[in-house]
Amino acid sequence: MKVLWLVFLGLLLGVVSAYTSWLVIPAVIAFLVFAVFYFKKSELVLLAIILLRPSMEYVRDVDILAIGPFGFNLNWILAFLIISLCFLHLVKNKFNVFNYSISLPYLSFLTVCVVSMINSHYLSDSVVEFFRAASIFMLLLLVADWFKGETSGRAVTTVILLSALAPLVAGLHQLATGQGMGYGISRIYGFSAPVSHSHFLMIISLLSIVLFMQEKSLKFRIFYGAVIVASIVSMIYTFARSTYIGLVLSLLIIGVLRYRKLLVLLLVALLLVSLNPTLSKRFSVLISSESVDISLESRLILWHGMKDYILSSPILGNGFGSFTPSSEKYVGYSMTPHSGFIKIFSEVGVVGLLLYMWVLLILLKKSYLVYMKSDSPFFKDISLVCLTLMLSNILINTFQNTFFMPLYQFDLWILFGIVYSLDSAKTRT
């Protein structure tokens, strides 16, 4: 009964805060989480967030509340929940954030992001981007500290796979009914861009592949197999070339280091695609000179038009999250940078770029060390998935921006949280 009164009071404060100041909103959500944290299992709250996040793409661009320059949607609320959960966990358990090797470089990067906002002419966009970047880091901390051991790790991966079921069904429904773009998948739920959906499915497909390879139970293998087929078919028909490159690279690495059978399956799959008239026609559109010229030309036009913006503040950048809103001024239309490295350099300067490269190297090192040292097939596989995803992530970000794709990074950092969960309280890698 006490919990119900706390929740009711929190909701009442939430209604009041909607007509006062946007700063009250995270405090109200923190209050609600506080009630759950002390009277229920907060780990279940986190699992619920992980399960719900991919389905929130439907309302990703719909503000359910607007106060001044700030628009709030359900993804904002989920981000606030994650951040509130993490702060409450740190305070209650006197948790030392710096027990993890990723903490110093990433907190340093976030600090530079805050400093860069001094130069930002788009404060609301900067704040949104900052909360997005902070929430994925806190996801890693919570998963690492709450879900220790193989049983807990498998529970998290199961929830990740279950979270993909609704987007998979939506994408396959588009294919079956012809409601997508041409013969493919256009926008899942009507808002999420195909490339974002495709990168999310790259994580789902790789995760289900390694779990399938190590699974002994027939019913689970059937489930993993169905997810593999559905996710790869959906990926193919998003026509996102960056995910083709990332998936092939990842499967090659996993095949060479861990499961040699994957190399044979990869070769057979590529052969079938090239011999199938329907699929080969789809791929030929992507690799034709005309298509490549159009795609590359649009990026070069964007980068050339944004040259003055990109180079105007090389040390601390023009403000975190400012590239896309600034593009309206420089090139006449709103556009993401289509390069993770250009985005980071232009927004937080060379200092922020070097710090982010430090973050990437720490994550690569961590996943490699766990793969080499762990005796658990589960942790070896998860760390290998993280390693390959990060390598492809770095490669792809030359001409694509996955560093700040919310859904992709959301699940990637959760998987890194599983990898970091192997750390003991005294010994960190």
pLDDT at residue 428, as a whole number: 40
pLDDT at residue 238, as a whole number: 76
Are both 89 and 124 inside the same structural domain? no
Are both 80 and 111 inside the same structural domain? no
**Number of domains the chain is built from:** 2
pLDDT in tens, 213-272: 888 888 889 999 999 989 888 887 777 778 888 888 888 899 898 888 888 878 877 776
- Token pair for 382: 């998860």
pLDDT at residue 32, as a whole number: 57
pLDDT in tens, 142-191: 999 999 889 999 999 999 999 888 888 877 877 777 665 544 455 554 44
pLDDT in tens, 184-212: 455 554 445 677 888 888 999 999 999 99
pLDDT at residue 413, as a whole number: 95
Give a yes or no: residue 311 inside a domain: yes
Give a yes or no: residue 284 inside a domain: no
29, pLDDT greater than 60: no
pLDDT at residue 248, as a whole number: 85
pLDDT at residue 60, as a whole number: 59
Are both 58 and 16 inside the same structural domain? yes
* Residue 414: closest CA among 88, 158, 215, 211: 158
C-alpha dist (Å) from residue 202 to 175, 253, 324? 18, 15, 25
Are both 86 and 150 inside the same structural domain? no
Are both 306 and 412 inside the same structural domain? yes
pLDDT-derived band at 73, boundaries 50, 70, 90: low
Are both 5 and 56 inside the same structural domain? yes
Are both 361 and 321 inside the same structural domain? yes
**Residue-number span of the structural domain to which 376 is assigned:** 98-266+292-420
Are both 54 and 168 inside the same structural domain? no
pTM value is 0.84
Question: What mean pLDDT do residues 66-77 have?
Answer: 64
Give a yes or no: residue 78 inside a domain: yes
278, pLDDT greater than 60: no
Domain boundary (95, 130, 152) is at 95
Domain boundary (95, 122, 154) is at 95
11, pLDDT greater than 80: no
The rounded mean pLDDT for the chain is 79
Q: Estimate to the nearest angstrom the gap between the alpha carbon of 50 and the chain centroid.
A: 11
